[in-house]
Chains A and B, each alone.
Chain A
Amino acid sequence: KNEVEQSPQNLTAQEGEFITINCSYSVGISALHWLQQHPGGGIVSLFMLSSGKKKHGRLIATINIQEKHSSLHITASHPRDSAVYICAVIGGSNYKLTFGKGTLLTVNP
């Protein structure tokens, strides 16, 4: 069973700050997802990656397969980025997602 650890659990930042959220996992995977859950509860998929780096607007996700580690970066953070960010991994040929506990990000104006 893959253990997925996220850090930090909680993060408070000032508007404009650069944010980094980390995710590590214990067993080799085929892909890693970053999800965003807003205070209202809705879940949105941000990235799916299996190697390298992806960028979408102010969000950047990287993964290091050898070190079993991924990071989610937010540049020029904004209060609307306040949400829970969840890392999830898929291993092997089964498409079952294993989730981290999430990181609660609060960006203050």
Chain B
Amino acid sequence: DAGVIQSPRHEVTEMGQEVTLRCKPISGHDYLFWYRQTMMRGLELLIYFNNNVPIDDSGMPEDRFSAKMPNASFSTLKIQPSEPRDSAVYFCASSFVGGNEQYFGPGTRLTVT
């Protein structure tokens, strides 16, 4: 398996623009997690899905953030409108069982100017 795939790897956008980050989990994994990493706050869970259903979105910062998982092989994290404070590395991870080992994607480095 190719592992967890994220795109784009880097995104630079202007404040106010819509940003869409994409993730393809490992085939057969039932859990998908979206994380954000910043220097100030470290790694934080934004939302996670089980069998394509959002289970916990308490980490989503505000209404500007939304995440979807239309099928078992694809998820998106959307920010609209983007703000400079959204600049961070966004990781997607998947696991076969919820509490078990998670496999991380390479991350998307987002810069909002």
| A interface residues, Cβ below 8 angstroms from B | 30-31, 33, 41-45, 48, 86, 88, 90, 94-102
Q: How many B residues touch A, CB cutoff 8 Å?
A: 25
Where chain B touches its partner, the secondary structure class is: strand
A-B contact pairs, 26 of them (CB 8 A): A30-B99, A33-B101, A33-B102, A41-B106, A41-B107, A42-B104, A42-B107, A43-B91, A45-B102, A48-B99, A48-B101, A86-B43, A94-B56, A95-B31, A95-B50, A95-B55, A95-B99, A96-B48, A96-B56, A96-B58, A97-B102, A98-B45, A99-B43, A99-B44, A100-B42, A102-B42
Residue of B nearest to A94 (CB): B56
What's the count of A-B pairs with C-beta under 8 Å?
52
| B interface residues, Cβ below 8 angstroms from A | 31, 33, 42-45, 48, 50, 55-56, 58-59, 89, 91, 93, 98-104, 106-107, 109
Q: Are B42 and A101 in contact (CB under 8 A)?
A: yes
Contact of B45 among A30, A43, A96 (CB under 8 A): A96
* B99 neighbours in A (Cβ, 8 Å): 30-31, 48, 90, 95
Residue of B nearest to A40 (CB): B106
